[in-house]
Amino acid sequence: MNTFADPNLVPPSTEPSERRRILIVDDEPRLRESLALLLAADDREIRQAGTGAAAIAELSRNDFDLALLDLRLPDMSGLDIMDWLHRNKVTPAVIVVSADDHIESAIAALRKGAAEYVRKPYEPEAICRTVENHLVKRSLERRHALLMARLEQSERLHRFLVEQSPDIIYTLDNAGRFMFVNSRIEHLLGYEKGELVGKHYSTIVHEEDRERARYAFNERRSGYRATSNAEIRLKCKNDGFRHFDNRFIVAMLSSVGIYEEDDGNPMQRFMGTYGVARDITERKKAEETISFQAFHDLLTHLPNRNLFRDHLELAMARARRQGSLVGVMFVDLDRFKLVNDTYGHAEGDALLKGFAQRMRNCLRESDTLARQGGDEFTVVLPDLAYPEDAAVIAEKFFHSLRDPFVIAGQDFRATASVGIAVYPRDGEDADSLIKHADIAMYQVKAKGRNGYQFFTAAMSEHYQSRLSMENDLRRALEHREFELHFQPQVSISGGGTVGMEALIRWRHPEHGLIDPGSFINLAEEAGLIRDISDWVLGAACAQLARWRAGPAPELRVSVNLSPKDFERADLMDRVLRHKHEHGIPEGALEVEITENLLLQDAEGIIEKVRRLRQEGVRVSIDDFGTRYSSLNYLRRFPISSLKIDQSFVRALGEPDGTEAIIRAIVSIAEGFGLHLVAEGVENYGQLTALTDMGCDEVQGYLFSRPLPVAEADAWLVQGKAPVPVQS
């Protein structure tokens, strides 16, 4: 019986083993173990390596079907391992699994033979599917290789291998007409083999690639057995086959000339061409996808900041030659965080895409709209005749925003803040123009949003001042330039000092003592508030421990926390660390939070406040009644006390309903069983009114200004606050 009469049959004894070997190479043990568990199966043997040397040792000893390879290893690069595989003819399929998001790394890996490039973190289902696909492909390749070894001595079997090749194999005569083409062309291009025999190769070549194809298909060469390699687009016969852009595939052509030799003369007569065309469509698509991701925002598909900069620099170069102007806009979508927090990130993404589309519709074809990140966009306006032309575009933006966006089935009216800088008036390089447009945008934000503003030199001076203060703040943290002052909180019924509010001061080496109102907002914007709050907590707890061990054993101290502190996961650990480190007993430490914080992330804030109370930390709402007062959150949140804002206290006696508001706050506190403190008490009349209304405690200049530590010590030694005498 002729075993190979049917080329699809393989003798059972020559079947490769079905047990497949996988090598996982990664320097993180937990990642290796989790990936090994994810890919485990009865027909798989999985080995691991944490270094490049260990990986090469495994690859030297064992025949692996697949290697999952990280690019960053402690002793060598994953690319070095791929070079070793190539040099030593070790041929597992390689899937790169890496956190390296540089486009150059991805392209380098693909060009060195990687079958796939998977970025960490990956989707478990996706990587399982990818691994299984390559294992199946590897199994087929092994079968194919086995057949090749068996059949290489036979002309008939050689033709079988040619027909089963995953590549198009062809021969041309000396006029460029097909003499032979294997059946792979039917699967890739949709042509029957007989259709092309006798036809010129240009029949299947994209019109724009024919000049390159003329050499690649080897009509004539200058050297003996010269070879060529070229990327050529080949036309599909119809849309019923896999193709690149619905019409073509991209092929890598490798060809060699065929010559007749006579009497030792190797160049006597050119007879034709033998070549191979490999389908690289998927690889090209992968490279194009990686390239697109490197220069575009994946949500809106707009250019990112890198491509934006390139377009801006080209526009400036053209403006220098032509004497024209270039406008740069920095656009920020107002109140975007409110949409994310209220409706969710999916609806927020939908708003960003809709906002980007409306902006795009207001621009010329030559303009560039880019997304900088988050809710920030930038625009290049080339070839302007006058700076005011940029204002015309801005007006179009605002007109386009008159119609609401539909978010979660509800109308949402979006506004924007736009800053404008003009080349060359406001800067002669890309960095300056972008920075100045950004500064102008922040001026719009400071004035209430929903407008546009051209950059001016005065804005730059203000920006430089803020930048200088930010640098000074960083130095202040490093050099311990902060100090605490303490304002007494006095019991109305007993007259004694029951608490101290800790208030930070900055002793600037040049400007002297600075109140927190001048630098706290900047500290929040610059990301420094966490370190400042941590210092305040530590210093306040240390001072409280000293006072309770001395003149005031029942004293409590309150500390103000920023809303930014509650955004951090380590808030509880920081508060409790200082409390336990200084042995602060239950009820002696109080944190003050603002009212609007409770509306930002209700469930998350509730959990933090509840845990603070469980650990014996009091929680007070500062400036109560000035923002979004709601009895609902007082019911849900385990609050200890309320502080009446000093604006209400100062307005006592005026015919504007202030007294009724304070009485309502007193009733609320009594109804919920909350302690009540009034701040900003400056005269005896205010004290009398608050006493009559049933307020528990007061603080203010009538009793004492905020005191440095030494003066606060002296105050507490008195034991009882001096009650002012009515003049």
Q: Give Cβ neighbours of residue 235 (< 8 Å, ≥ 6 apart).
A: 189, 204, 205, 206, 247, 248
User: Nearest CA to 38 among 26, 55, 56, 52?
Assistant: 26
- pLDDT, one tens digit per residue, over 1-45 is 333 334 443 444 444 456 889 999 999 999 999 999 999 988 899
- Under DSSP, the state recorded for 723 is P
What pLDDT is stored for residue 639 in this prediction?
Answer: 85
- pLDDT, one tens digit per residue, over 163-189 is 667 888 888 888 888 888 888 888 788
Q: Is the pTM of this model over 0.95?
A: no
What pLDDT is stored for residue 725 in this prediction?
Answer: 45
What pLDDT is stored for residue 328 in this prediction?
Answer: 96
- pLDDT, one tens digit per residue, over 507-534 is 999 889 999 988 888 888 788 899 999 9
CATH number at 12-150: 3.40.50.2300
Residue 556 has pLDDT above 60, yes or no: yes
* Residue 570 near residue 602 (C-beta atoms within 8 A): no
What pLDDT is stored for residue 397 in this prediction?
Answer: 92
What pLDDT is stored for residue 316 in this prediction?
Answer: 95
- pLDDT, one tens digit per residue, over 453-476 is 999 888 777 677 777 888 889 999
Most confident of the following: 16-30, 580-594, 634-648 = 580-594
Mean pLDDT for the chain overall: 84
Confidence tier at 384 by pLDDT (50, 70, 90): very high
Superfamily of domain 296-455: Reverse transcriptase/Diguanylate cyclase domain (3.30.70.270)
378-384: average pLDDT: 95
Percent of the chain with pLDDT over 70: 87
What pLDDT is stored for residue 6 in this prediction?
Answer: 41
What pLDDT is stored for residue 720 in this prediction?
Answer: 60
* Residue 25 near residue 70 (C-beta atoms within 8 A): yes
Confidence tier at 217 by pLDDT (50, 70, 90): low
What pLDDT is stored for residue 709 in this prediction?
Answer: 95
- pLDDT, one tens digit per residue, over 403-443 is 998 887 888 888 999 999 999 999 999 999 999 999 899 88
* Residue 379 near residue 368 (C-beta atoms within 8 A): yes
* Residue 108 near residue 79 (C-beta atoms within 8 A): yes
Residue 368 tokens read as 């560039």
Q: For the sheet containing 93-98, what is the strand order?
A: 44-49, 20-25, 66-69, 93-98, 116-119
DSSP string computed for 506-566: EEETTTEEE-GGGTHHHHHHTT-HHHHHHHHHHHHHHHHHHHHHTT-TT-EEEEE--HHHH
- pLDDT, one tens digit per residue, over 132-162 is 888 888 888 777 777 666 655 555 555 666 6
Confidence tier at 697 by pLDDT (50, 70, 90): very high
User: Nearest CA to 258 among 199, 179, 171, 178?
Assistant: 171
Q: Give Cβ neighbours of residue 166 (< 8 Å, ≥ 6 apart).
A: 184, 278, 279
β-pair partners for 25: 49, 69
- pLDDT, one tens digit per residue, over 224-283 is 455 567 788 888 876 454 444 457 888 888 777 777 766 555 555 777 888 888 888 888
Q: Which CATH architecture has domain 165-287?
A: 2-Layer Sandwich (3.30)
Distance (Å, whole) CA 434 – CA 429:
9
Distance (Å, whole) CA 548 – CA 628:
36
What pLDDT is stored for residue 264 in this prediction?
Answer: 58
Q: How many residues does the chain have?
A: 727
What pLDDT is stored for residue 3 in this prediction?
Answer: 35
12-150 with 475-718: one CATH topology?
A: no
What pLDDT is stored for residue 4 in this prediction?
Answer: 37
Residue 126 identity: A
* Residue 39 near residue 82 (C-beta atoms within 8 A): no
CATH number at 475-718: 3.20.20.450
Residue 139 identity: S
Q: Give the count of alpha carbons within 13 A of 179, CB side only.
A: 13
Distance (Å, whole) CA 532 – CA 506:
11
Domain edges within the chain: 12-150, 165-287, 296-455, 475-718
Burial of residue 382, with CB atoms counted within 10 A of its CB: 0-12 exposed, 13-18 middle, 19 or more buried = buried
Distance (Å, whole) CA 1 – CA 74:
57
What pLDDT is stored for residue 16 in this prediction?
Answer: 47
